[in-house]
């Protein structure tokens, strides 16, 4: 069984001759796309999951394998109206299938990139992307009993985790409770239903706010509350919990778990509201007053570019002003997209969870929230 059997392709436009190549496929075998690198991706397929959600399948143009942990995201940077706009999307596929990977995207009102992807991206098209990044992953939190709680498109990182444990034959005890508006809004409904018939230990429960057009729906109706959770997952206090969804949903989940006496040492949620960040308007940075004294010299080791910048500016802003191409998305130190190795020199970094201590220990920094405290040499 594949992950995607019986799902219809919906792109309608056949650019697929671009996807056929010759022996390059195997000559590139073994190359890797690692965290922080930028790649050209080729869209291989577009599939409709629900009326407003599509899964986009990609491979690296030169066949690199994407090295990531389930739950992480990539940042795609399409050119829309002549402007490059970067947005983060969680990978919905499993890292056990590193050569072809997917993002699953919901249309959102005024969502510049999400709606552009839905309306424009077809098999054979290419995109620039960077990543992978993110710390919402089960790696580092080993547990045999898990509870996945998601709402809406928050299902994507948990789907990646479920697919990974399926492919690895990990035989984990997973209860996956997904909340949706109506049965027709349930993302991955058929695949998860199939998976629970063949994966020992996986149980899937969908909770819908209303029946919508599905008069035959006989699953739970309403919202997840302590009564429903206690009935369906009586041992929830013994499970490692991973939660992803809109902020209001995650707040409600925390409230339910707190009322149920859950130990929050075993609780993990997406560290930022990816749904909000994905389509948040670009942040207008306060104008920087240029200093004429105390300038630092920044050298980009790969391109050989050199520029001077004041200490009160972020390295990202100064690098972009100097014409350097630096992948970035949130500009708030949360998404990890601008993670770059500082080869020489020191910065003051005030991040919001977009980098791990072990990465800092290796010399990586988030340029969007780093200000120089000396001359720098960057791995750019
Ligand atoms: Fe998101 Fe720097 S751009 S952490």
Q: How far apart are the C-alpha atoms of 93 and 101, rounded to whole Å? A: 5
pLDDT at 222: 95
Cβ–ligand 1 distance for 354 under 6 Å, the answer yes
**Helix count and strand count (H, E) for the chain:** 9, 22
pLDDT at 133: 80
Dump the DSSP string for 267-307.
EEE-SS-HHHHHTPPPP-PPPP---SSS-EEEEETTT--EE
pLDDT at 118: 97
Give distance in angstroms: CA of 38 to centre of ligand 1: 14
- Paired residues of 348 in beta bridges: 371
Ligand 1 atom with least separation from CA of 338: 2
Q: How far apart are the C-alpha atoms of 303 and 378, rounded to whole Å? A: 10
Give distance in angstroms: CA of 188 to centre of ligand 1: 30
Q: 134, 340, 368: which to mutate for ligand 1, most atoms within 8 A of CB?
A: 368
pLDDT at 21: 60
Give distance in angstroms: CA of 134 to centre of ligand 1: 11
The torsion angles phi and psi of 95, rounded to 5 degrees, stand at -65, -10
Q: Which tokens go with 48?
A: 């409709």
CATH topology of domain 4-133: Elongation Factor Tu (Ef-tu); domain 3 (2.40.30)
For residues 256 and 229, the answer to whether their CB atoms sit within 8 Å is yes
Cβ–ligand 1 distance for 72 under 6 Å, the answer no
Cβ–ligand 1 distance for 338 under 6 Å, the answer yes
Ligand 1 atom with least separation from CA of 354: 4
For residues 149 and 241, the answer to whether their CB atoms sit within 8 Å is yes
Q: Which tokens go with 324?
A: 């350097």
Give distance in angstroms: CA of 332 to centre of ligand 1: 6
Q: Does domain 145-278 have CATH number 3.40.50.80?
A: yes
| Strand, coil or helix: 211 | coil
For residues 16 and 124, the answer to whether their CB atoms sit within 8 Å is yes
Give distance in angstroms: CA of 153 to centre of ligand 1: 22
C-alpha count within 13 angstroms, C-beta hemisphere, residue 186: 26
- The protein residue whose alpha carbon is closest to atom 4 in ligand 1 is 333
pLDDT at 16: 59
DSSP E strands, 97-252? 101-106, 126-133, 145-151, 173-180, 202-208, 240-244
Q: Which tokens go with 15?
A: 């650019």
Q: 130, 135, 328, 350: which to mutate for ligand 1, most atoms within 8 A of CB?
A: 328
- Paired residues of 308 in beta bridges: 297
Ligand 1 atom with least separation from CA of 335: 1
pLDDT at 358: 85
Exposure string of 30-49, with b = 16+ CB inside 10 Å and e = fewer, is: eeebebbbebebbbbbbbeb
Query: Which regions of the chain are under pLDDT 70?
Result: 1-25, 36, 271-293
Q: How far apart are the C-alpha atoms of 312 and 307, rounded to whole Å? A: 15
The pairs formed by 316-320 with CB atoms below 8 angstroms and a separation of 24 or more are 316/367, 316/368, 316/370, 317/285, 317/288, 317/368, 319/367, 319/378, 319/380
For residues 97 and 167, the answer to whether their CB atoms sit within 8 Å is yes
pLDDT at 335: 75
Cβ–ligand 1 distance for 333 under 6 Å, the answer yes
Query: Where do the domains of the chain lie?
Result: 4-133, 145-278, 296-378
Q: 133, 315, 331: which to mutate for ligand 1, most atoms within 8 A of CB?
A: 331
Q: Which class is domain 296-378?
A: alpha beta
pLDDT at 284: 36
Ligand 1 atom with least separation from CA of 336: 4
| Strand, coil or helix: 250 | helix
pLDDT at 228: 97
The torsion angles phi and psi of 264, rounded to 5 degrees, stand at -70, 0
Exposure string of 166-202, with b = 16+ CB inside 10 Å and e = fewer, is: beeeeebbbbbbbbbebbbbbbbbebbebbbeebeeb
Instruction: Give the containing element (helix H, strand E) for 45.
Output: strand 37-50
Q: How far apart are the C-alpha atoms of 178 and 155, rounded to whole Å? A: 7
Cβ–ligand 1 distance for 349 under 6 Å, the answer no
Indicate the pTM of the whole model: 0.79
User: From its phi and psi, is residue 251 left (phi > 0), alpha (psi between -120 and 50) or beta?
Assistant: alpha
Q: Which tokens go with 198?
A: 């063949």
Give distance in angstroms: CA of 365 to centre of ligand 1: 10
pLDDT at 288: 46
pLDDT at 117: 97
């Amino acid at each position: 069984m594949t992950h995607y059997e019986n799902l219809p392709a919906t792109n309608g436009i056949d650019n697929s001759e671009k996807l056929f190549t010759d022996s390059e496929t195997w000559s590139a075998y073994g190359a890797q796309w690692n965290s922080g690198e930028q790649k050209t991706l080729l869209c291989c397929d577009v599939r409709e999951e629900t009326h407003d959600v599509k899964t986009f399948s990609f491979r690296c143009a030169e066949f690199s394998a994407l090295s990531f942990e389930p739950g992480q995201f990539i940042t795609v940077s399409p050119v829309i109206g002549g402007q490059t706009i970067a947005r983060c999307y969680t990978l919905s596929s499993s890292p056990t299938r590193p050569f072809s990977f997917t993002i699953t995207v919901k249309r959102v009102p005024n969502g510049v990139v999400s709606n552009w992807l839905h309306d424009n991206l077809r098999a054979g098209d290419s995109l620039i992307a960077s990543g992978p990044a993110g710390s919402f992953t089960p790696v580092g939190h080993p547990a045999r009993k898990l509870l996945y709680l998601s709402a809406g498109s928050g299902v994507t990182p948990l789907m990646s985790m479920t697919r990974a444990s399926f492919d690895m034959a990990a035989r984990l005890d997973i209860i996956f409770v997904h909340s949706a508006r109506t049965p027709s809004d349930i993302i991955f409904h058929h695949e998860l239903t199939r998976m629970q018939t063949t994966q020992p230990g996986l149980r899937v429960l969908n909770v819908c706010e209303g029946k919508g057009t599905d008069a035959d729906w006989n699953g739970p109706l309403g919202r997840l509350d302590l009564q429903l959770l206690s009935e369906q997952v009586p041992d929830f206090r013994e499970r490692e919990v991973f939660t992803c969804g809109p902020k209001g949903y995650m707040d409600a989940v925390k409230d339910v778990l707190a009322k149920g006496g859950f130990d929050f040492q075993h609780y993990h949620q997406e560290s930022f509201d990816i749904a909000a960040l994905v389509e948040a308007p670009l942040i207008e940075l306060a104008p920087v007053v240029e200093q004429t004294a105390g300038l630092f010299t920044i050298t980009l080791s790969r391109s050989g570019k050199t520029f001077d910048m004041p200490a009160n500016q972020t390295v990202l802003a100064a690098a972009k002003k100097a014409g350097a191409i630096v992948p970035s998305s949130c500009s708030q130190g949360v998404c990890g997209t601008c993670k770059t190795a500082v080869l020489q020199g020191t910065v003051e970094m005030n991040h919001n969870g977009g980098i791990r201590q072990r990465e800092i220990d290796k010399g990586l920094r988030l340029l969007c929230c780093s200000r120089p405290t000396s001359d720098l040499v960057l791995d750019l």
